[in-house]
Amino acid sequence: MLAGMPDEIAFAPAVELARLVAGRQVSPVELVALFVERIERLDKDLNSVVTIDAERALAVARQQEAVAGAPDAPPLLGAPILIKDLTMTAGLRTTFGTATCAEFVPSFDDGHIARLRRAGFILLGKTNVPEWGTVPFTESRLLGPCRNPWDLGRTPGGSSGGAAAAMAAGLTPVAHGSDGAGSIRIPASNCGLFGIKPSRGRISKAPIYGDGMLAFGSAGPIARHVIDAATLLDVLRGTTPGDPYWAPKPPHAYAEDAGRDPRPLRIGLVDSVPWATFDEEALATVHSAVTLFERLGHTVEACALPLDERLRDDFEVAYTAGLAANPVDHATFEPYNAGVAEIGRAHSAPRLLAAIVSLQQQSSAIVRAAMRYDVICSPTLTRPTLKIGELAGLDTRPMLDALERYIGLTPLANITGQPSMSLPLHWSPSGLPVGVMVTGRPADETTLFQLAGQAERATGWAARRPPIS
């Protein structure tokens, strides 16, 4: 089956690969061998995969061959996947991009990783991340810079940078990421992919609840095909007794939504932000998306959300305090993170609590304003992707300011807890992908997947390939 068409197999939807395995048209061993070979051949230019678990992946694949096609076989049996290196994986090195954890091997899986294994996914390895996942580029001292397959002089973004670079280059059929301030949507935008941050509480964070009182972060999918992202979220979603947050169960599987057009939607357009400026490319991207959405039968109108600099300032307090609470010796951090932790330690407990209350109040006002629309559309980022090392050498405060200007509105959905996605709807004249962000109503991933699937069918974005693929 693989002979003569490896590239087509490598870029096929993960759900199609699982179907081929179930029909015994291709074996899990063949798929693992194909993607391991692609990683070994192509990733030397990208540095997207930092740990390869080929031997164990092949052992799992051989076990799966015996049950492929059985009525009770797991639904995604044989589909390979790469896991972001900020996530606990039993028996598989997990570095968090930091020197202290360079050889750390957990004894347990994060709960949602266990769900992946039970669904039949085969873990190929771990993808590159910035130290502690704190920045929107992937250039840690421990793991080295990860490069964008569309332009090796540029970053794929972060913190799920390795996941997106590997996904775009066809080194995995689907990728696992996480998003605390845009860390799925930013690299999806930079690498020409679809990425979605689910609603707060959609995916359990058990057994470690490590991102503070407001739970800004969530695991989620990065994919080429909307059906793969929807199917992966169907696997990942669910709660664990004791979870501090949970989202209501969706009316049906998200995989069904990916193939179903939405009703005509009222879309609110946000193309400015108080603390940053969208450049011409970002504005051109979102305005071309407006043209597409209107052609598909939706109504788009300018939308004013109650945003001001207080939101950025309060989020910065929570962000810096969160890194300050990291129990690892801060003296081992890279300079930027050490500086951020120092800023966080300077906040008093009353200041942190005041910021949290303020964020909750502002979130309520923002969500109420957004509820006038089915979804909110904006540029994912304020400009195309950064060059490798572009911000190197900046001190902590100037770096924070530069990052806040670059990421624009991506943290907003992390603050409010709404689901939010980046769609690969535009490429710049120089060939760089530039994403469009669409944020849904609370707990409404259904509408997002319907709109994303409709846009994918209208544009055929999945057929695009970067130079390194």
What pLDDT was estimated at residue 434? Answer: 97
Query: Among residues 13, 444, 32, 16, which one has the least CA distance to residue 198?
Result: 444
The answer to whether residue 213 scores a pLDDT higher than 80 is no
**In sequence order, what DSSP letters do the residues of 368-396 get, joined into one string?**
HHHTTSSEEEEESSSSSPPBTTTTTT--H
pLDDT tens column, 138-158:
999 999 999 999 999 999 999
The torsion angle over the Cα atoms of residues 126, 72, 21 and 14, rounded to 10 degrees, is -50
Per residue in 281-333, pLDDT tens? Answer: 999 999 999 999 999 999 999 999 999 999 999 999 999 999 999 999 999 99
Q: What is the pLDDT of residue 8?
A: 86
What are the structure tokens assigned to 444, written together?
């409404």
Please state whether beta strands 122-127 and 80-84 pair in parallel, antiparallel, or not at all (unpaired): parallel
Whether residue 4 has pLDDT greater than 70: no
Q: Which percentage of the chain shows pLDDT scores above 70?
A: 99
Quickly list H helices, 107-225: 111-119, 161-168, 185-191
What is the rounded end-to-end Cα distance, in angstroms, of the chain?
20
pLDDT (tens digit per residue) in 120-140: 999 999 999 999 999 999 999
State the pTM of this model: 0.97
Answer for the pair 185, 195: CB distance below 8 angstroms, yes or no. Answer: yes
> Helices 309-324 and 396-407: crossing angle, nearest 10°?
130
The percentage of the chain sitting over the pLDDT mark of 90, rounded to a whole number, equals: 97
Give the separation between CA 320 and CA 134, rounded to whole angstroms: 10
pLDDT at 1 over 70: no
Nearest to 67 by CA among 33, 37, 32, 28: 28
Average pLDDT over residues 431-454: 98
Could you list the active site residues? 84, 159, 183
136: nearest Cα among 189, 183, 97: 183
pLDDT of residue 2: 54
Structural domains of the chain ordered from first start = 6-463 (3.90.1300.10)
